[in-house]
Structure formats: C-alpha cells, structure tokens
Chain A
Amino acid sequence: MTKRRMFLRMVTASLLRRRSRMLIALLSIGIGATILAGLVTIYVDVPRQMGAQFRSYGANMLLLPQNGETLGSERLAEALRMIPEEALVGAAPYRYVRLDMTTRQQSFTAAGTDFSQITKTSPYFSVEGAYPSEPRQVLVGSGIADKIGVRVGSSMELTYQPTGSAGSQTSAESRAPGAVLSGKAEGFGGGLVYVTATLDGQSKIASVSVDASTQTPEYGGRVQEDEAFLNQLVGQSLPVALGDGVDALTGATVTSAAVVEALNQATAADAAARPRTLNFTVTGILTTGGEEEGYLFLSLQDMENLTGSDQLDVAELSVSANVDQLETYANAITESGGGVQARLVKRVAKSEASVLEKLTALVFLVTLVVLLLTMICVSTTMMAVVSERRREIGLRKALGASDGSIRAEFLGEGLFLGLLGGVMGAILGFVFAQVVSVNVFGSSITFQPLLLPATVIVSMIIAAASCLLPIKRAVAIDPAIVLKGE
C-alpha cells in the first residue's frame, strides 16, 4: 500500500467514523458555501434581473425629430434598426395634439400611439377595462375621466381643430351654404389658372368662376367665359374628375384640366383646414400616478384620420442595456443623419446603474461577512477537534509522526471537508438562488456550470485557511502526554 492510500484511508476514516463532530464542521462549510454560491449566482444574474425590473419603470431612451425635421414611421423604423433586436424591449411612438370634446366645450391633450408597444415601454400603466384594440376606441386618463365623468363603455365625440381654422362647429362631412373654395393650378405654358367656387348646403358646387387670363385667349382663355363648360360644374360633388360628368372644353384641354385640379386642390386644402370629428368609445381608464392621467390615448390610425397627418412627435424606447451601451446606441442614431435625435432618459438609466452598483457592493460585503463567519465557525470547530484529539495527536507524534505529517493530516481533513461542503454548497446554493430569484424577481435563473468548481475551490481554500490555527495547536502538542495517561 502506498503512503498516499494510507493517508486517504486515515483522513476518510477520521471523517466517516467520527461523524458528529465532523458533521458540524461540514455543516458550517456547507452552509457558508451555500450562501456563497447562492449570492454569486444571484450576483451574476442580478444585472439581467434588475434590467428587467428597471424596464418596468418606463422608457430609458427618447427619439425626437432633429431640428427642422419631421419624424415619420419610416424614419423611426430606420432608427430602431440601430439598436440590437434583443436589446429593444419596446418602442412606443407618440403624436400629441389637442382635441376638443365639443359636447363639453373642453379640450384635452390626446396622444396617438401604438398600444401593443405601450405595454412594453410603460408597464406601470394600470388600465381599468382594456387598451383600445379597434378603430374609434379611446383610453382615457383617470384625471379626465373623473372630471367629465366618463366610464368604460361611454362614448366621446372628439374634434380636431387645425391651426388657423375658423373654429366652426360644423361637422367634417358638410359645409354651410355659401362657403367658398378657391384654388389655382398650372395651365397651358405654365400660366396659373384661378378658380373660385361657392358651395351649397350639400357640399356641391353652387357657382363657379374662373380666371384664365394667363392662357391664350383663343384656346384656354375661353374657359372663363364658356357657359356650357362652367355650368356642367355646377351641382357636381367635390372632388370632380374629367370624363366623369365634366368634359374638357374642346381646344382647351390643358386649361380644363387645370380648372379641375384647382377645384380639387382647393377641396383638399379646405378639408385639411376643416375641423374633423370622430366618435370614440371608451375602452379603458388609465391610472399612472403621473401626468398621463390627464391625457387621452388613441390609435395612430385614428389620429391620422383626425389630423390628416402621420407625423410623430416622439418615440419612447425601452432598451435593455447599461448606461454606456445606451449612450453608444443614442449617438449612433443621432449621428446617422436620419433626422432623428436620440436622448437618454437619464433619471431611469442612471438610477439603474447606481442601484446596480450599490447592490453589487452589498452582495460583495455580505459575501465577505459570510466567508468570515464560515471561517470562524470552521476554525472553532477544528480547534475543538484538535483539543478533543490531543491524545491521538500525541500518540501519532510518539509513533514518529513529524510536524509535517500532522499538518498534512489535518489539512487533508480540512480540504476533504471543504470539498464535500463545496459540492453541497454549490447544489444547495443554486436551489437557494433559485428560490430567492423566483420570490424576489419572479423569474428563474440558469445554472452557471462554472459555479460548481468555483464554489468547491473557494470552500477548500476557506476550510484550509480555517485549519491553519488549529493545526498550529496540533503541531505544538507534546508527544509525552501519551505516557502515564493523563
């Protein structure tokens, strides 16, 4: 038999046949290793977990149009492509306008947005009822809901007043009798043709006059006097089209087309400048504890229908990344020349970093304390073991054990304990971390394969370090104590 086998036989026999005392030492190392492994697992997982937690506090990046630019859905999509897909939690576009609630003579700020994204960028939104899922549905901030007394299921008539419009109370579909439309279009040879039309009560043309003085009098110029041509326009609904109840004047087709175009442009301009009203159903009441409670939320499509424009004011982004990464993304977007400017919501991004930092420090501190406590506990136990085994140590020395042998034997026992405790700790630590993670963060964690050897090695180092003082005691024992049996 080799010396090493005998050494292992003695060490294992000492641990296995002297169970109770060694169990305490094993338990202290095991518990220490468990907490250690658990904390490290959580520590490794915390940035991910915390990131997810912080995403629930709202957007951490804003996309805005650069000076003099507009923000459309295409530019937004282009900017979003600069953020890695897996990092982008959500991107909610917003268009803010004032909408009038004509029946109440009140106006509110309304936000057109994408509700599927809002749940990602603003998970703290609390909705009583449901988010709008179909056209003509509105989510009402609780502040507004309280003020005007709407509930889920109520209907709201909302009107968009374009800037500079007359503020007329009429609906978008019909105009008052006598309303005037005027427009212009390029005729033959680039000369402008001016058209003025009055409307009847059904938005049909009641009368029309044309100024074609820039056109050749023998050809295009004739349209302004040709009764037949002008009369066929009366009674037409706008917009009009050549060949559909309106025929071009022979020999003046280009000018005729200019007249029709001028009429249609005037109609479009008028439509854009006219207030539009849509009827909405309230699907939910929004509570946030913030200013959003004073807003109405509708879909982007409804917003476009109301305002006639698909421009956006801002997009709120929730990005899973640390401050440095966020800044990199933001700079890339701003400097890409896509007309979009990216800004960090510093409050969220920075507080995430500082909380992580504090948490890291805390975990580090707790780990240190646990290590220290484990060492004290193991050291105390081993000290007791040494004094319990004084005679045995004396006997071994009397039998010829050198100080080195005594050291090796106790260190061997310590390392063996560290090994067992480490394996136990790595397994229990993962379970511990899993329980903590599920209960605190509400998500499970993945096993880090490296944790097993790391925990075992650390445990063995701790156990060995804890044995140093007890070993010193053991080595100092006088072999003469075995004589005469004290």
Chain B
Amino acid sequence: MSLLELKNVSKIYGDLKALDNVSLHVDQGEWVAIMGPSGSGKSTMMNIIGCMDKPTMGEVLLDGVDISRESSKRLTDIRRDKIGLIFQQFHMVNYLTAVENVMVSQYYHSLPDEEEALEALGRVGLRERARHLPSQLSGGEQQRVCVARALINHPELILADEPTGNLDEANENIVLDLFAQLHKEGTTLIVVTHDPEVAEAAQRTIVLEHGKVAREVINENFGK
C-alpha cells in the first residue's frame, strides 16, 4: 500500500522548472533514498513532501490525502501529525535542553511528556545528556537529538534532509543504524542525500536530474 504518491507533479519558479512532471510512489514501511546533484529538484521535492510547499501542477497523496490542494494551516496539521523531520543542520532551539527540544515536538503535537522524551533520548543513546544545551553537545549528538525528536510522535513518515551531511563517519553510522531500527519497526523513511553510502543503506534509490526522475535503483544488498 502506498503511503505517498506523486502524480505528474511540477513546480515552476518563473522560467525554471524545479520539478518537471514527476511521478513516484513510496510504500508504507519503505526506506527510500532520493539522490541527485544540486539543482536537481531534491529540495523542492522535499518541501512538497514535507508539506512546506505546494506544487504548481499535479497531485500529491499522503496517506490518501491530496496535500497539493490544502491550505497552509491544514498542511501544518498534516506535517505535525504524520511527518517527522530531520535536517542537515541539526536545527535545535538553542536555549532549550536536549530533552526540552524533544518535548517541543510533543508540545505542538499533543502533550509534553518528559518521561517519554527521555526514553526517546535513551533510544538514541543520549539519556545522560538530556539536560545539556545544544551548545554543549557535539554535532553527532545534536543530530541524534533531532532523530529522537522526529520519532517522538510516532510519525507515519520520517523525512530526512541530508541527515549525515555534517557528520563524521562514526556518527553517520550511528544515525544510519537508527534509521535501520526505525525501518524494522515499520516506519516509512525518505532520506534526501547526495552521499552514495547513505543511499545504499536504503531499499530503493530515486535519482533526480533537472527536475525529473532520471532512474530508480533497487538496492539488492539491502538487509545483507
């Protein structure tokens, strides 16, 4: 069953076609990587899937709902309820501690629960760093807090934008291991990356070029 389906989606900025008639689908529980050089339309696609932008043309069905026609207020609700976001810059609220940053996500979603937030931090191996401010955490630790924050509300879809872009190899592996765990638990993962190693960790890689799907690669080594 497909969780996400793009049908003939185009995004046009003036003369530039950032996305040009793209169609693709992602099944429930699937782990998909999106690759492509700069300017290939990765970010635009990410914005549209993440309910932060709307396509100029085409339909985007997320969990059966066409998000290409929704108001931005509805999009906010959908994003909050269904999507967990992870960013390259490991964005955190810099005056809140690690656990408070996780709780912010709970706060907007439903109710803050410190115990649950601490558990999520434990899952990414940071329980004892819960009371630290972002400035007291390393880049890898910050990104792990972001993973904990993304999964705290049990989203249908985790959308990660260059999640390992600023990480060393050790931390990259920790994050990828976390993704593998989430995948095993049935979470759908879409990882935008230009790193072939990260792409290879996924089941399937979609390569974008000039706003179009250039090719799709099934990773035959997945899980091995």
Q: Point out residues on A near B: beta carbons under 8 Å.
A: 1-3, 5-7, 9-10, 13-14, 17-18, 391-392, 394-403, 405, 478-480, 482-485
In the complex the two chains form, is A396's CB within 8 Å of B93's CB? yes
Considering the complex of A and B, which 4 residue pairs feature the smallest CB-CB distances, nearest first? A400-B80, A485-B89, A17-B95, A400-B108
Stretch at the interface among B110-118, B168-176, B204-212: B110-118
B202 is an interface residue with CB less than 8 A from chain A = no
Q: Which residues of A contact B103 (CB under 8 A)?
A: 1, 6
Interface size on B, residues (CB 8 A): 38
In the complex the two chains form, is A401's CB within 8 Å of B52's CB? no
B127 is an interface residue with CB less than 8 A from chain A = no
Q: Which residues of B contact A13 (CB under 8 A)?
A: 95-96, 100
B94 to chain A, nearest CB (A): 7
In the complex the two chains form, is B108's CB within 8 Å of A1's CB? no
A480 and B52 in contact, given A17-B133, A485-B88 (Cβ under 8 angstroms): yes
User: How far apart sit A482 and B47, CA to CA, in the bound complex (Å)?
Assistant: 10
User: How far apart sit A483 and B149, CA to CA, in the bound complex (Å)?
Assistant: 16
Q: Which residues of A contact B113 (CB under 8 A)?
A: 1
Of A3, A17, A480, the contact of B107 (CB 8 Å cutoff): A3
In the complex the two chains form, is B93's CB within 8 Å of A395's CB? yes
How many A-B pairs have beta carbons closer than 8 Å: the answer is 96
Q: Can you sample 18 A-B contacts with CB below 8 Å?
A: A1-B112, A6-B103, A10-B100, A13-B100, A18-B95, A392-B93, A396-B93, A398-B79, A398-B91, A399-B85, A401-B108, A402-B76, A480-B50, A482-B89, A483-B52, A483-B161, A484-B43, A484-B162
Q: Which residues of A contact B88 (CB under 8 A)?
A: 483-485
Q: Which residues of A contact B104 (CB under 8 A)?
A: 6, 10, 396, 399
From 58 to 116 in chain B, residues with beta carbon under 8 angstroms from any chain A beta carbon are 73, 76-77, 79-81, 85, 87-89, 91-96, 100, 103-109, 111-114
With most chain B CB atoms within 10 A of its CB, the pick from A14, A392, A484 is A484
User: How far apart sit A170 and B197, CA to CA, in the bound complex (Å)?
Assistant: 136
Q: Which residues of A contact B109 (CB under 8 A)?
A: 400
A392 — nearest CB in chain B belongs to which residue? B93
Q: Which residues of B contact A391 (CB under 8 A)?
A: 91
Q: Which residues of B contact A6 (CB under 8 A)?
A: 103-104, 106-107, 112
Digitize B26-69: 1 where CB-to-A-CB distance is under 8 Å, 0 elsewhere: 00000000000000000100110010110000000000000000
In the complex the two chains form, is A482's CB within 8 Å of B107's CB? no
